[in-house]
A and B are shown apart, each in its own frame.
Chain A
């Protein structure tokens, strides 16, 4: 078996409640290398809880999340040491927040935001770091002339693209994204989505993308899970779930929007 046909992320019976309220329950799925999984559902359905459990920011009450590291071993995200998990979040993993301010260092220049991730994994050569930062600004369609500007001087769409550059510069294998196009105008959203789609394809990146926007899910994901009240009520090929939804809740979601 090659790495290509082994799961990159294995999630089993994952559950978390807050007091008596279910955050998420009985979530089980595999994510394959290069595969993009969309997690959809209304607000409060447990999408972000799930994402934070996968990423190890939250500790589950039950179940486990295993990730295949670069040497091919499955490691339990919630049993590894904190330094080991931090290393993962800086190298093999990316996390794109809905609000770019949560994912950027606002007091550091655009170039610095990108270069910082490289330095965190040991890059020291200033010229190379700057070169690499410039390359990623270009790939995320940010004018090279803005490299020394602070993110606060950028538009929302540019900030989000900078956050993506900062995350992808270390060539991660898995990205977690929480409503990556959430706070943006429709026209800016389309551009960002298109950029993300291209990058994901080009890098062979696997991703879990939380979104309440079914059109975003359609455009960017291969597979989809629909969550309601913390549980996965339906999952499958994205276009199959959108075009022939089986569960009452999926049908309601799909029928509430115009042709996602």
Chain B
């Protein structure tokens, strides 16, 4: 455990750099960001801003361990239940964590909702939403209750719950994805355009879900193209362009 990290933070990103090397396109190097640094406390929501291609999604993916972080640190506080059960917290640096540690973070600590659902054929919607809770060792009854409540709030008609979302519309899939993402009160949520395919009524539900999560102590890093949603949920913004690659590595 790193004692220099402020206990109040959930996430601490320090001097993160990202480039992509396209080996099969002449070894072209695609610089994305450099020197990205920010901290996030419980209950806070940070909105990442910037034009298309600036690197917003890449940042979320690095925090989730889906993209590699070649330089810098992404410290995530792990292991202190939001209910204050006293379990000792430790810091995991996603930039250097083992696959096992990243999977543990994804189970317990980090929830990620992207715009698209990766659908598994033959898995019922209800089971898909219950799954993260069952993995955490919650009872089937409690998991089902939570899943039902979220699917209802997100206006997924109950006749669809026993079906695989394979055949659902884009907006329905996104709502299933949100229900699954919000099933557990993760200490840290990463939201990549969570309302992109939704109508106004469902956007309002998502805003409420985010506000409730924050009130319960979750921190959020999000990309919100809808300014109304962004204003309603975020406490501060961060312009990714301020961290554009300048060429000269620090």
Task: State the A residues within 8 Å of B (CB).
Answer: 32, 35, 190-191, 194, 197, 219, 222-223, 236-237, 239-240, 243-244, 246-248, 251-252, 255
Contact = CB atoms under 8 A, between A and B. Distances in A.
Given A32-B100, A222-B103, A223-B99, A248 B123 contact: no
Contact of B99 (A222, A247, A252): A222
Contact of A240 (B21, B22, B24, B65): B65
Task: Determine chain A's interface SS by DSSP, over half rule.
Answer: helix
A234 to B, nearest CB: 11
Contacts of B122: 190-191, 194
Interface in B99-123: 99-100, 102-103, 120-123
B66 A240 contact: yes
Given A247-B23, A251-B22, A237 B120 contact: no
A74 B23 CA distance: 40
Contacts of B67: 240, 243-244
B24 A248 contact: yes
A260 to B, nearest CB: 11
10 contacts: A35-B100, A190-B122, A191-B122, A194-B120, A237-B65, A240-B66, A243-B67, A244-B20, A244-B67, A246-B21
Nearest to B134: A201
B61 interface: yes
B153 interface: no
A246 B24 contact: no
B68 interface: yes
Contact of A190 (B21, B102, B121): B121
Interface of B: 20-24, 61, 65-68, 99-100, 102-103, 120-123
Given A32-B100, A237-B99, A244 B66 contact: yes
A197 B122 CA distance: 11
A194 B23 contact: no
Contacts of A244: 20, 61, 66-68
A248 B66 contact: no
A4 B61 CA distance: 28
B212 to A, nearest CB: 28
Contact of A239 (B24, B66, B123): B66
B69 to A, nearest CB: 10
Given A237-B99, A246-B68, A251-B23, 14 more contacts: A190-B122, A191-B122, A194-B120, A194-B122, A194-B123, A219-B120, A222-B103, A237-B65, A237-B103, A240-B65, A240-B66, A244-B68, A247-B23, A248-B23
